[in-house]
Amino acid sequence: MPTEVIMPALGESIAEGVIVKWLKREGDSVREDEPLVEVETDKAVVEIPSPASGIVAKLLAQEGQPVEVEQPIAVIAAEGEELPGEAEPEAPEQPPVEAVAEAEPPRRRVYSPLVQKLAAEHDVDLSRVQGTGIDERVRKRDVLAYVEQQRRRAAAPPPAPAPAPVVPTPGEELVEAEADEEVVPLTGMRRAIAEHMIRSKQTSAHVTTVALVDMTRIVQWRERNKADFERREGVRLAYMPFIMRATVDAIAEFPVLNSTMEEDTVIIKKYVNMGLAVAAPGGLMVPVIRRADRKSIPELARSLADVVAGARDGKLKLDQVQGGTFSITNPGVYGAILSTPIINQPQAAILGVEAIRKMPVVINDAIAIRSMMYLCLSYDHRIVDGATAVQFLQTVRHNLENFEFLR
């Protein structure tokens, strides 16, 4: 039997993916687990492997086309296998022109369950929404764009009266300035990121709390040991493995930070799949380190190097973009000292890591110069109470300031 290739679920909050590039064409042979197609989401460009060995019999989606999760995108057949319905049908008798005209009433529009759900949530009449999909199919982004358009229209002030024409004084020339502007269409990953950010702010009750961490011990230890670590482990030792380890240890004490909300229930995850925001050429991606709670500092360092390279090269694997339970973003690498990160839906929280800076601090009534860093925790106040969020953040701080280096 032929094998259908299905658009996989590329994350808990992702309803569709865009076909970026077919790596095989119709008639090409393909092996099981060999990369078949590159798919783009709001988080990454991912290679989808073939589920079977054989011949690419049909490509059911074009490059640049969005496809909803669980929809077929290709068919793999065994060598010489005939596909169902491949027999050439007899040409039907052509009806008279009048009959054709009578048989072409307006086609009923069909909407996906996701589109219908969004329309119900936002009280949208789908007949008023212009679709941008194949055959003008209404997609999720069309509904969200329509909702935003209506919101802006309702909030817009009434138009101001037209200004009086400017009349130059005698002998003065009226010169009209020409604006230097560039119009950049919001397409592909940039559009998907924009939709994801808007949806997050509309969904979660965002609150951000901040802690100041003394990183001096870790900075000094890393300076003494980074060269030896790189020779031994084969990867550079950054600060992020320490921060991840301190975070997963704090999650063990406050597991509600590692949860999602579905309707009227909170689902607490007993494992930590850590997402890390990475600035890639096409936009922000959030690859996932699976079971980060089970990894040592060297293991986290190797996993980080792997997912960051994959994100920047556009070569992430499917399991590196799925199932994140908590995320960290690192604006400090660009020098930021304070931020309010947006939660990566459907997670409950995200931790912003800021730049490490030497600052004067008071220790035992004396001023000392220490390597200090702000941590900024944004959390969903529907799920996490403020007191719990502060205790969690202070536990991360304590873990970093009292880090045990023998693990």
Rg (CA), the chain: 27
180 within some domain:
no
Q: Sorting pLDDT into bands at 50, 70 and 90, what band is 339?
A: very high
pTM for this entry: 0.66
* Range 373-391 average pLDDT: 96
Query: For 152-187, what is each residue's pLDDT tens digit?
Result: 777 766 665 655 555 555 555 555 545 678 887 766
pLDDT at 142: 80
The confidence score (pLDDT) of residue 187 equals: 62
Catalytic residue among 33, 228, 313, 381: 381
Domain-embedded: residue 187: no
Does any domain span residue 145? Answer: no
Q: How many residues does the chain have?
A: 407
Can you give the CATH number for the domain in which 59 is found? 2.40.50.100
Predicted pLDDT at 45: 76
258-297 pLDDT tens trace = 999 987 899 999 999 999 998 877 677 889 999 999 999 9
Would you say residue 139 lies in a domain?
Answer: no
Give the domain-ending residue among 17, 48, 77: 77
Run of H or E residues at 326: strand 326-329
- 381 is annotated as an active-site residue: yes
For residues 27-65, b (16+ Cβ closer than 10 Å) or e, as one string? eeebeeeebbbbbbbbbbbbbbbbbbebbbbbbebeeee
Residue 109 in any domain: the answer is no
Residue 119 is assigned to a structural domain of this protein:
no
- The mean pLDDT of the chain is 84
CATH of the domain at 302: 3.30.559.10
Lowest mean pLDDT among 56-65, 127-136, 162-171, 279-288: 162-171
Q: For residue 303, tell me if it sits in a domain.
A: yes
Q: Which of 77, 108, 140 is the last residue of a domain?
A: 77
The question of whether 385 is a catalytic residue gets the answer yes
Number of domains comprising the chain: 2
Question: Which has the higher per-residue pLDDT, 44 or 396?
Answer: 396
34, 49 Cβ separation under 8 angstroms: yes
Which domain range does residue 7 map to?
3-77
pLDDT of residue 165: 56
Note whether residue 142 is domain-resident. Answer: no
Ranges 1-10, 21-30, 176-185, 375-384: which has the least confidence: 176-185
Ranked by mean pLDDT, the top range of 34-43, 88-97, 272-281 is 272-281
Last residue of a domain, one of 32, 55, 77: 77
The burial of 90, by beta-carbon neighbours within 10 Å (0-12 exposed, 13-18 middle, 19 or more buried), is given as: exposed
